[in-house]
Structure 1
Amino acid sequence: MQLVSMGDSLTLGRGDPDPAGGWIGWSRRLADLLGISAGDVVNTGAEGATAARVAADQLAAVRQLRPDLVVINCGMNDAVQGSPMSTVRTALTELFDWGTRAGALVLMPALPTPSAKLPVSAFRRRRMERWIAEFDELLRADAARGAVVRVEVAPPEAEHLWCDDGIHLNTAGHVRVATVLADTARRLSPAVAASVADRAS
C-alpha cells in the first residue's frame, strides 16, 4: 500500500519536531496509523508551496505512481498571497484528476479559520477569511463531483493546535490531522480497510 503526500510546509511536518532531527508531521503519523512502511510513503511537500507550485513541481515527481491514498494539503500560502482563484482552480483540477486516474482515494484537508495567533492586521485577516471561504466553495464543488474528499481537520476553536506563529500546526495539531485522515481513509478506501484488517489479524 502506498501513500503520496503533496503540499506545503505543513506536509513537510513543520511544527512537529523529531527528536532525531527534522520533522515528523502528519504524513509520517498517518502512515504509522495505517501501517504503511516508510518505503511506501512519498512526501513531496515543500516550504512555501502554493497550489500552482504543487501542480507544477510536485506532480512531476509522482505522476507515474499508482498510490492507494493521496493527501493534498495546500492553500494557506495562496490565502496569504491572495492567489487568483482561477489559478488555484486549474492547479487543483490537475492534481485531483491525476489522483482519480491513478485509482487513489484523494483526500484534502479544508483550510481552517486563520489562527488568532497569526500576526496580521484586521483588514488582512478579513481578506484571508474571504479568500478561504471562496476556496472552500471550490473544494466543496470538487468533492460534490467526486474528485476529492474534503476533510474537516481543525475546528475554529482549536487554537491549541497551532504554533505561536499561527501558521504551522504544533505536534498536537499534526496528531489530530493524521488521526482524522486515517479515520476517513479507513472508512472510504477498501484498500486501506483491507490493509488495516490484515495487520490486525
Structure 2
Amino acid sequence: MCSFAESEDPHCLRAGDSARLLAGHPWRRFAVLGDSVAEGLAEPLPGYSEVQFADRVAHELAATAPGFDYLNLGRRGLRTREVRATQLGPALDFRPDLTLVVCGGNDAFPATYRPDAVDAELRAMVTALRAAGAAVITVGLYNLSYSPSPRVPDWLRPGLRTRMRTLSERTAVIAAELGTLHVNLTAHPAATDPGLFAADGRHVNARGDAIALAETVRVLGAHLAATRPVRMDHV
C-alpha cells in the first residue's frame, strides 16, 4: 500500500506543472485507441484521483485549449488486431490532431503472443494516423509480471516478464521509426513497485495512472519545448 498521497508522490505532477508544460499547445482534437488501459480500469487508491488515465490526459490538455474535443474509443479485452479493426476507422473519422494508442498487453499476457503480428497492427495504426495529420503517442506498458496478485501465478511470471519486456522494446522501436511521442512506463523507476498494481493482476491502481499521466504530460511538454520557435530576444 502506498504511504503517501498523489500531491506528495515524487513521481507525480505538482500543481501548475501541466499548465506550464502544456501552455500554448496546438492540439484541439484528441482521440484515444486501445484496450482496458485506454478505457480506464485502474483500481481506486486513497489519496489519488479516481479519474482514469486517458481522461486525465484529456482534462489537462483541455484546461489550456479552448474548443478542445475528446474521443475515447478504448474497450477492455481487445487485442491489437481488434483495436485496429474496430477503432482506427472511427478515430480517423474524428479527424484528430493528437492520438494516444495504447494496446498489446492482452496479446503479450498469454504464451501465444506473436510479436511480429502485433508489431504489424501497431505500425499500421500509427502510419494511418500520422498520414492523416495526427501526432501519435505510444506507450511502453508497465510489466504485469511484477504484480503481487495471486491471480498471476508464479509459474507464469518468468515468461510474462519476458513477453511484456519484448512488447515494450518493440513498441519503442516502432515509435522511433515512425516518429511517435513515446511514453516509456516500463523503464520508470516505480515500475517494479508491487504497490503500483491492482488486485486483479491485469491492471495498475490509481497511482499507476497518476504516474502515467505525469510521464505523458512531460513527454508532451518536452516535445512542445523542442518544437517552439526560438525567440530572438532570448538568444
Please classify the TM superposition score into its range, dividing by the shorter chain length.
Answer: 0.7 to 0.9
Shift of 1:131: 1.4
In structure 1, the residue corresponding to 2:94 is in which secondary structure? coil
Aligned equivalent of 1:113: 143
Runs (5+) with no aligned partner, structure 2: 1-27, 45-49, 229-235
Task: Give, in angstroms, the shift of residue 69 of structure 1.
Answer: 1.6
Q: Which piece of structure 1 moves more, 38-47 or 153-162?
A: 153-162
Cα distance, 1:129 vs. partner? 1.5
The 1:37/1:86 distance shift into structure 2, 3 A limit, reads farther
Deviations 1:122-167, CA, capped at 9 Å, x for gaps: 3321111221222223212212213423212354333322211222
Deviation digits for residues 55-109 of structure 1, max 9, x if unmatched?
A: 1111121123332221111111111133311220111011110221122221112
Contact persistence 1:6–1:58 (CA under 8 A): yes
Q: Give 1:84's aligned amino acid.
A: R
Match in the other structure for 2:191: 156
- The 2-side partners of 1:38 and 1:177 are apart by 25
More off after superposition, 30-39 vs 125-134:
30-39
- How far apart are residue 189 of structure 1 and its match? 4.2
| Structure 2 Cα separation of the partners of residues 95 and 112 of structure 1 | 21
In the alignment, which of 53, 61, 64 is matched to residue 26 of structure 1? Answer: 53
Alignment of 1:2-151 (within 5 A): 2-15=29-42, 24-34=51-61, 35=63, 40-81=69-110, 82-114=112-144, 115-118=146-149, 119-151=151-183
Residue 175 of structure 1: aligned partner: 210
Q: Figure out how many residues of one structure are paired with residues of the other and give that number.
A: 188
The TM-score, its normalising length taken from structure 2, stands at 0.71
C-alpha RMSD of matched pairs (Å): 2.5
Q: Percent identity?
A: 24
Gapped regions of structure 1 (runs ≥ 5): 18-22, 194-201
- Bigger mean CA deviation after superposition, 149-158 or 179-188: 149-158
- Greater Rg by CA: 2
The separation in 2 between residues aligned to 1:178 and 1:37, in whole angstroms, is 21
1:187 aligns with 2:222: yes
Secondary structure of 1:145 counterpart: helix
Whether the 8 Å contact between 2:32 and 2:99 is mirrored in structure 1 is: yes
Alpha-carbon separation, structure 1, partners of 2:137 and 2:172: 12
Which residue pairs with 1:196 in the alignment?
none
What amino acid does structure 2 have at the position aligned with 1:131?
R
Say which is worse superposed, 52-61 or 33-42, in terms of deviation: 33-42
Superposed structure 1 runs of 4+ greater than 4 Å apart: 36-39
Distance 1:177 1:112 in 2: 9
More helix by share: 1
